[in-house]
Amino acid sequence: TRTTRPQRLLKAVQDRAIRGNPKSVISVIDHYCRNQEWAMNVGDEKGFILDSVVSELNPQTVLELGTYCGYSAVRIGRLLHSGARLLTLEFNPDYAAVAREVISWAGLENTVQLVEGASGDWIPRLREHFGIHTFDFIFLDHWKEGYLADIKLLEECRLLRKGTVLLADNVVCPGAPDYLEYVRKSPLYDSRYFKSHLEYTKAEDGLEKSVYLG
């Protein structure tokens, strides 16, 4: 049977990227998705904004919701200092299998841990299962209709602390209107929109950065 889009993206990485070199994995994926086959990675333009938020914050504990092929896990993981860890959650087992290979090809298997399952099931268990107290940085890139429920669940589970930064992809396209309204209205958050474009296209999209005020 035909290969899947994630499998074709992984083959491009294995054929063209340098093992152990996250920068080359990132550029191979961006070139492949811009020139051969679109895929829903955060991409190079929004990725540059993601890089600047992560570099400025220098987080020790990071949560990513929505791994897909591991592109943003590699983007974030490459910027983390020794001892820092990224936990990335992926619901789809086929995506997870590809992401594990991409993360390993980039040489980030000791920095990035992939967990398979639904955010709603895992978030309440992160503390007792991974010994996590709170997160410094959270990247939301999973079900757009799940962003709001999951940020409320993270609050309830006390996994946010004063200064935790949440960065949400796709708040315009496909869109997360209920999430945007919540973080922009709530006194618990200081929120700001970074206008950009949908990965590899000219369509508008952007990232919403929200600091938890506790």
Instruction: Quote the least distance from Cβ 54 to ligand 77Q, whole Å.
Output: 17
Task: Give the footprint of ligand 77Q on residues 34-53 (CB under 6 A).
Answer: 40
Q: Which tokens sit at 152?
A: 């409320």
Which range in 7-15, 23-31, 70-78, 89-97 contacts ligand 77Q by CB under 6 A? 89-97
How far apart are the C-alpha atoms of 93 and 198, rounded to whole Å? 25
Smallest gap from residue 127 Cβ to Mg ion (A):
26
Residue 170 known to be catalytic? yes
The answer to whether residue 143 forms part of the interface with ligand 77Q (CB under 6 A) is: yes
The window from 13-21, 52-60, 84-92, 98-106 that contacts ligand 77Q (CB under 6 A) reads 84-92
Q: Could you give the CA distance from residue 80 to residue 152 in angstroms, rounded to a whole number?
A: 26
CA-closest candidate to residue 187, choices 206, 213, 150, 151: 213
Beta strands 61-65 and 85-90: pairing type? parallel
Catalytic site includes residue 121: no
Residue 208 pairs in a beta bridge with: 168, 193
The rounded distance, in Å, linking the Cα atoms of 98 and 70 is 8
Whole-angstrom Cα distance, residue 188 to residue 213? 5
Residue list 48-87, contact with Mg ion (CB under 5 A): none
Shortest gap between Cβ of 169 and Mg ion (angstroms)? 4
The span from the CA of 58 to the CA of 60, in Å, is: 7
Least separation in angstroms between CB 18 and ligand 77Q: 26
Phi-psi region of 158 (alpha: psi -120 to 50; beta: other; left: phi over 0): left
Binding test (CB under 6 A) with ligand 77Q, winner from 10, 89, 102, 168:
89
Distance of CA 37 to the CA centre of its chain: 20
Question: Which sign does the torsion angle of CA 184, 71, 78, 65 carry?
Answer: positive
141 is catalytic: yes
Is 150 catalytic? The answer is no
Q: Distance between alpha carbon 176 and the CA centroid of its chain, in Å?
A: 15
Q: Which does 30 bind (CB under 5 to 8 A by kind): Mg ion, ligand 77Q, none?
A: none
**Residue holding tokens 């589970």?**
157
190 assigned to active site: no
Using CB under 5 A, pick the residue from 44, 90, 141, 208 that binds Mg ion. 141
Minimum CB–partner distance for residue 43 and ligand 77Q (Å): 8
Confirm or reject binding of residue 183 to ligand 77Q (CB under 6 A).
Answer: no
For ligand 77Q, the binding residues in 123-142 under the rule CB under 6 A are: 141-142
Q: Which residues of this protein are in contact with ligand 77Q, per CB under 6 A? A: 40, 65-66, 89-91, 118-119, 141-143, 146, 169-170, 173-174, 198-199
